[in-house]
Structure 1
Amino acid sequence: MKIEVYRDHLIPALISVASVVERRQTLPILSNLLVKTLENSLVLTATDLELQISCNVEGTIDVPGAITLPAKKLADICKALPDNSVIKLEVADKRAIIRCGPSRFMLSTMPAEDYPGLEGDSVHQSFEIDTELLCRMFECTSFAMAHQDVRYYLNGLLVQIHSGKLVLVATDGHRLAKSELLMPALDAWEQEKQLIFPAKTVSELKRMLGGKFGATTIFEIGDRSVVIRIGKNVLTTKLIDGRYPDYERVIPYSLKYTTTIDRETLRNALTRTAVLSYEKQKGVRMTFADGSLKLEVSNPEHEEAQEDIPIVFNGDDTTIGFNVSYWLDVLNAMTGNLVEVRFSDSEVSSILVDPESDGELYVVMPMRI
């Protein structure tokens, strides 16, 4: 095996696949990545047996072949090489020699035939979606996923297909983020489909989508796994086995009041007041009154912060406690200039909506302060 590849072409693919590799492995070969040549390119593949990423890189193939190389060492070496340099890789006598200008490295290898690839299920259904739109949907929902919750299905992100819509939902039981997109191509899907993506898959998929490896993304859906094609790169993932809860039941659509606030003004005010919030509770008291929104926080050290924001509101004075971090997560996820807040009282969850982004909705539960 003998190949040449530009360092700047190799690095993005190398970073994508190497991120799948866990530090501790039950199988030593899983610390490696598979390097396999095609006619005018090479394919890098890494897996942890739950998630697999393959990235295609243009290169000059002098002698074709396949081998596995230590993922972290290879990535660290290539990242330390000069920009715009050419990397030469040659495999002989179970050793890989990497040359770049005056630099020379020798790495151990393991046979390609021993590499345990992750194969997707038989494809039952597939669809195609604009990569930029899909990236936005993941960005504005994934932050609400649970972490190490005993309800294991909440530790992932729901991708739901029904009634001609693609819907992404994440919740940790205290807040919920939802993004939906009308897709006429999905009208033919008579049966609802629920896919629960693991958190690691969501993280790696966001990285690949953000890299804009392809203008469109293709989903190929099997019984227990999904293959996602972004340009010439492929992500294969197993799904979380379980039924996601009925999230529509926790969305309070009939709320008494509505007000619209400048997003940046509110975000900055919450950021300042959060400095003095009680670390364990992160509580902020919000009082919606005639013409203003008052933000108040305090902590056990008897320190206090207060902010007043002008708003258009003519209802009864209403005070509700919230976790300030949940609000900041939502405001940071939004991209518009305004945020529409819908609320009733301190016993009912509130809804935040970006008026400039159709299909995005956020629910935040109140808390006692």
Structure 2
Amino acid sequence: MKVVITRIELVNLVGKIQNIVPVKPTIPILSNILIEAIDDQLILSVTDLTVSVRIYVEAKVLEEGAITLPAKRFFQLIRELTAIQVEIHAPSSEIALVNAGTSRFKIQGMHKDEFPKFPNLSEGIQLNLSSSQLSYLLSRTSFAAARDDSKHALNGILLQSLENTIVFIGTDGKRLAKNNIEIDNIPTDSSSYIIPLKAVEEMIRLLDSKEDDPVTLTLMPDKIAVEFKSVTLITKLLSGQYPDVSRVIPEQIANPIALNRDELMSLLRQVSLFTSENSNSVRFTFTTGELHLSAMSGSIGEGKVHMPVNYGGEKLEVAFNPNYFLDMLRHSKDESVHFSISDPYNPGLITDSTSAQFVIMPMRLEVNVS
């Protein structure tokens, strides 16, 4: 194999995919990056056996071939090079020569046949949407997913394929985010897929949220794939049963409380400074025309703020984790959001002008701030 490519292009390519390489691989080959020179393309692939990414770019291929090289060391090397172009030459299946200007390097690699094969996508169900749509759905859902939860299925987001609609749900048991979008080419049979959070975060990172470039989402029984521009990401699905979240999503009340998003975020950030690690909760007190927020910590002090709201019911006191509430406000899109809650013991529902639903569980009310 012998290929020539600009250093900037090579650094950008490897930088996009090197997060997939596991820090502590279960087998040595997983710490390597597969480099293939085929036709007029340089193709790079990495995998951790759950998430696999392949990316390609046009390059000057002098000799076709392939080799795998240590991903971390290779990335560190090409970042430090100063030459405009880089030549990668693999005279054997386990040795690569990297030439850049007057610099010469020899890197010990591994045979390409040891690298796991990329899955076949030809038999999957294909859905078409834009990069901005998919990025939007994933980012507004994944923040609520669990991390390292003993309930394995919660460490990912649920994708449901329904008639003319795909639904994304993330929850850690304390909060929930649900988003959906209508698309035309969905099969009539409904299906569910649990996507690992690592794969979701890589999709968000790779997708261009500001562009409407076409994305192909391929659904298979045990994996899904996202194809976007020159990138293909494939992930295995999480096993297990995702909880039936429909039972915890409250119905929006007839006259929900309108909350100014920016003002509430500012006040929540202020008063949350007076919460402690042991009691990370803020008291929400709704009275006629006002919302009072308060928090107290014996070692820090206490904070009280308030804002006008369109509440006209009986006094209502409920406690929430301020960070969870801020996350939901941050992922809402309107200047004013709607908040539905029935009592201090059942979850609250935040909605905006989109189809999104954000659910937050209440916390135990502490003793009143004096």
Shorter-chain TM band: over 0.9
Structure 1 residues 254 and 213: alpha-carbon distance in aligned structure 2, compared to 1, 3 A threshold: closer
CA distance in 1, matches of 2:103, 2:336: 54
- In the alignment, which residue of structure 1 is the partner of 2:58? 58
> TM-score by structure 1 length?
0.93
Larger deviation, residues 284-293 vs 98-107? 98-107
Residue 231 of structure 1 is aligned with which of 229, 232, 235? 229
Quick check: 1:35–1:67 contact (8 Å CA) kept in 2? yes
CA distance in 2, matches of 1:200, 1:258: 35
Amino acid at match of 1:360: A
Correspondences of 1:286-325 after superposition (within 5 Å)? 286-301=284-299, 303-325=301-323
| Consecutive unaligned residues in structure 2, runs of 5 or more | 366-370
Quick check: 2:141–2:178 contact (8 Å CA) kept in 1? yes
Deviation at 1:118, TM superposition (A): 4.0
Quick check: 2:68–2:110 contact (8 Å CA) kept in 1? yes
Is the aligned partner of 1:367 residue 2:366?
no
Structure 1 residues 21 and 32: alpha-carbon distance in aligned structure 2, compared to 1, 3 A threshold: same
Correspondences of 1:261-280 after superposition (within 5 Å)? 261-280=259-278
- In the alignment, which residue of structure 2 is the partner of 1:88? 87
Correspondences of 1:1-369 after superposition (within 5 Å)? 1-82=1-82, 85-93=84-92, 94-120=94-120, 123-186=123-186, 189-210=187-208, 215-255=213-253, 257-301=255-299, 303-355=301-353, 358-369=354-365
Structure 1 residues 28 and 318: alpha-carbon distance in aligned structure 2, compared to 1, 3 A threshold: same
Deviation at 1:113, TM superposition (A): 1.6
Q: SS state of the match for residue 203, structure 2?
A: helix
Deviation at 1:280, TM superposition (A): 2.7
CA distance in 1, matches of 2:55, 2:200: 17
Q: Could you list the per-position Cα deviations for residues 306-340 of structure 1 after superposition, in whole angstroms to 9, with x for gaps in the alignment?
A: 11112222222211100111101112222332222
CA distance in 1, matches of 2:362, 2:305: 19
Quick check: 2:136–2:209 contact (8 Å CA) kept in 1? no
Structure 1 residues 316 and 219: alpha-carbon distance in aligned structure 2, compared to 1, 3 A threshold: same
Structure 1 residues 298 and 344: alpha-carbon distance in aligned structure 2, compared to 1, 3 A threshold: same
Quick check: 1:121–1:225 contact (8 Å CA) kept in 2? no
Structure 1 residues 232 and 42: alpha-carbon distance in aligned structure 2, compared to 1, 3 A threshold: same
Deviation at 1:98, TM superposition (A): 1.7
Q: SS state of the match for residue 141, structure 1?
A: helix
Structure 1 residues 144 and 313: alpha-carbon distance in aligned structure 2, compared to 1, 3 A threshold: same
Quick check: 1:124–1:222 contact (8 Å CA) kept in 2? yes
Q: Output the aligned Cα RMSD.
A: 1.9
Identity of aligned residues (%): 29
Q: SS state of the match for residue 207, structure 2?
A: helix
CA distance in 1, matches of 2:238, 2:120: 14
Quick check: 2:133–2:209 contact (8 Å CA) kept in 1? no
Larger deviation, residues 65-74 vs 205-214? 205-214
